[in-house]
Structure 1
């Protein structure tokens, strides 16, 4: 991965949870350790895609930054930035919008799903065009690789299409990024539904050990005493077994066999111990980092500085290709 640039990020809509950690954050740290250069966007503007008001942004941005640093993302070897503080990135949205039709935006399956689940009283233009905004995120920094799930492939394909169209119309500039497909572990929330910040069914990375134990204690299981790993037939039990296995770097089948006929109570005890032990050093680092808010602001300022330098160069190159250099 040495020399490869990777774009990834999150919306600041609340605390990151263990689903984010096992599904994405650990992979980011692994990529960085393999020599990749990370650009991590805290997508504050995109909070407004599916809600009318972006609430608690200063707190949520700081919490995201704490989580990134606590899990091991190195700010000296990565660029962590917010949308709202990189003007040239957002200006790049305008020429990219000229390269895509309304019909193509309407056909994007992920946009259709997001609109259906939107919290807004009406669909905003930002919701409709946010795949192009994501394309600007990726193209401004010249990302070679973007870690995505299969449901995000339409967004990345649009990014590749926009890069291709710009290059064909104005001359070669943008690299067409490649997807880095990953299968996020199928961890359910404690209520048996998809783990989500908005549903209140997740275990936050920053949660204490007592809170974690309480959440796992009320996790949904089933009435069978013998613990097995059968994701299709017993999804709630399988999710807990998988969580313990991820924490202990074991096969879920081995965890299930060890718990055996100990039932849901024994399983939850194993999961609680495994998760708290795994997260203990991360939570300790997080607590240490939280004591110096000035350092957090310094890291974010430095990320903004680096991101702005890259975005300004990219926008200058775009203007040059488009014949918009007048001074």
Structure 2
């Protein structure tokens, strides 16, 4: 798994041709329950990858919560809720490893040698870091925020993941990980793969207020929401003054977002969904969206409720995932120390 990979992003069809050669690293920050944006953006695709035979490593990035916050609020509680969301969505802990940053010390120790392989300028010009700094809620930016790309490289390389699902805007992050792997291999020993990008075609879902869907904004439909809570959120969703429903993301973002949400839940084309609603207006659109979302989430909610009745199982999933990830990280760190002649 240490061969150099081509730099071009792959597609799901590319991966499906030989799923057994891939190990995927992906994850979420535990800042609250997952929502529909997470589901259609990443979680659903993780299950698809798992189901075709790709090895899946799912990180609950609790340390990364601290990159733009003074403290991590209720991390253990949020981590447990995210595990519930994963299980409900179909992530199988017998096929996937679900683990937390803070439970894998050897992973985080890789940050130190990795930082020696990148310059301050390379960290500073990373566009994702620039954007996070610009939108940070803190009065000043922590060192953890600044070193985030190198920490992400440790997340990916500790388990020698060779495939990382990313959006187009995240490619620079992955390129820095590839740079770290390449420089370590050249300077010390051939240990790490240069991971490939699995470019996500997932559409961006807005919140019900027309802004970016976010747990902290209260504009997201949580996977754990009840049918009635979902209906209330959709009833209050922002639309526009035009009665005829069309799918025009640039010209009518709020209406188009609702159309897209229905289309995703129904596995249909958004233009067809909009065409069927036509002149029946926003009320009809919201009724279609509510029915589609609740129907799509019904089996997920049922599975979530079932798992929620056995919290010991949920905690055991995370504990066993932590143990598997820690064993992998320990092995990798031993290799790194040997390559750097630091075994005493």
**Under a length normalisation based on structure 2, what TM-score does the superposition of the two structures give?**
0.94
- Per-residue CA deviation, residues 60-97 of structure 1 (Å, 9 max, x unaligned), is 10111000010000000111000000010011111101
CA separation in 2, counterparts of 1:240 and 1:186? 12
Among 87, 103, 112, the residue aligned to 2:130: 112
Structure-1 separation of matches of 2:319 and 2:266: 37
Secondary structure at the aligned position of 1:294 is classed as helix
Q: Which one of the candidate residues 161, 182, 187 is aligned to 2:179?
A: 161
What's 1:231 paired with? Answer: 249
Which stretch shows the higher mean deviation, 229-238 or 156-165? 229-238
* Whole-angstrom CA distance in 2 between matches of 1:106 and 1:246: 37
Does the residue aligned with 2:147 lie in a helix, a strand or coil? helix
Aligned to 1:29: 47
Identify unmatched segments of 5+ residues in structure 1: none
Question: 2:326 maps to what in 1?
Answer: 308
Q: Distance in 1 between matches of 2:88 and 2:105?
A: 28
1:121 positional shift: 2.6
The runs of 4+ residues in structure 1 deviating greater than 4 Å are none
Matches within 5 A, 1:193-208: 193-208=211-226
Does 1:290 pair with 2:304? no
Q: Unmatched 5+ residue regions in structure 2?
A: 1-18
**If the length of structure 1 is used for normalisation, what is the TM-score?**
0.98
How far did 1:184 drift? Answer: 2.2
Q: Secondary structure at the residue paired with 1:2?
A: helix
Deviation for aligned residue 1:58: 1.5
> 1:250 offset after TM fit, Å?
0.8
Hey, what does 1:15 align to over in structure 2? 33
Does 2:154 match 1:136? yes
Whole-Å Cα distance in 1 between the matches of residues 322 and 71 of structure 2? 24
- Distance of 1:2 and 1:104 partners within structure 2: 33
Instruction: Decide whether the 8 Å contact of 1:191 with 1:220 is kept in 2.
Output: yes
CA RMSD of aligned residues (A): 0.8
Give matches, 1:224-303, under 5 Å: 224-303=242-321
2:95 is aligned, of 77, 83, 106, to: 77
The CA deviation at 1:3 is: 3.3
Please give the per-residue CA displacement for 1:116-144, whole angstroms capped at 9, x wherever unaligned.
11122311110000111110000000111
User: Which residue is 1:3 aligned to?
Assistant: 21
Q: How many residues align?
A: 326
Q: Output the CA distance in 1 between the equivalents of 2:201 and 2:219.
A: 21
- Work out which of the residue numbers 145, 164, 171 in structure 1 matches 2:189: 171
State the shift of 1:278 in Å.
0.4
Distance (whole Å) between structure 2 residues aligned to residue 222 and residue 195 of structure 1: 18
